[in-house]
A and B are shown apart, each in its own frame.
Chain A
Amino acid sequence: SQTIHQWPATLVQPVGSPLSLECTVEGTSNPNLYWYRQAAGRGLQLLFYSVGIGQISSEVPQNLSASRPQDRQFILSSKKLLLSDSGFYLCAWSRGIAGGPGEQFFGPGTRLTVL
């Protein structure tokens, strides 16, 4: 069975500090990978998605970046955090079916507080 890991679970960082969140998927190959952010009481905002190693699509202009150095590893980074970067960061994976997006599964998330 497939498993998705995210770490850390919680993080408190000062404004202006760097960020690195990591996500790995086990039990599948060539997954589509996603980063979402959920602000308190809000919906899920798609930040980045990747359909293969080195292929990153950015959905929202911001001070965040993503990388996919290995097939099942997805990293979210920032050089300088802003207060508005606080939120619940979720990594997800899916596999395409018949040319379209299939079921998507989420990791446990990282709760980031920027002070």
Chain B
Amino acid sequence: QKEVEQNSGPLSVPEGAIASLNCTYSDRGSQSFFWYRQYSGKSPELIMSIYSNGDKEDGRFTAQLNKASQYVSLLIRDSQPSDSATYLCAVGGTSGTYKYIFGTGTRLKVLA
């Protein structure tokens, strides 16, 4: 069973701080990696995608990928109360298919 693991949280950070979210995956053949934000009662919203080792920055968000360690992370700088949500890690291309495996999500709380 291919898996994607995340700490369920909640992760609480003060407003303006850096939030660090982590994810590990089991399938070494995975090809693509994504972070989604999901507000309560809403559908997931794609915020970052990363396909190769290293860092990728987009505004206040930085995704980091380490394929050797099978580890993906998301950093949120200058966290805002509006960032409070559940963050889902997703891995694509498991078993050489067009499937995606999702973690159960980390709940982030940004305290004003």
Residue numbers of A with Cβ under 8 A of B are 32, 34, 42-44, 46, 49, 51, 57, 59, 90, 94, 96-97, 100-109, 111
Contact = CB atoms under 8 A, between A and B. Distances in A.
Contacts of A90: 43-44
A104 B43 contact: no
Interface string B56-92: 0000000000000000000000000000000010101
A48 to B, nearest CB: 11
13 contacts: A34-B100, A43-B88, A46-B100, A94-B98, A97-B32, A100-B31, A101-B31, A101-B98, A102-B32, A103-B49, A106-B36, A108-B42, A108-B43
Given A46-B101, A90-B44, A101-B93, 5 more contacts: A49-B98, A59-B99, A101-B32, A102-B49, A108-B42
Nearest to A42: B104
B43 A43 contact: no
Contact of B105 (A43, A96, A97, A105): A43
B41 to A, nearest CB: 8
Nearest to A51: B98
A107 B104 contact: no
Interface residues of B, number: 24
A44 B102 CA distance: 6
B82 to A, nearest CB: 19
Contacts, number: 62
A71 B104 CA distance: 30
Contacts of B104: 42-43
Contact of B98 (A44, A96, A111): A96
A100 B44 contact: no
B34 interface: yes
Contact of B32 (A46, A57, A100, A106): A100
Contacts of A96: 98
Contacts of B49: 102-103
B18 to A, nearest CB: 25
B88 A46 contact: no
Interface in B29-46: 31-32, 34, 36, 41-46
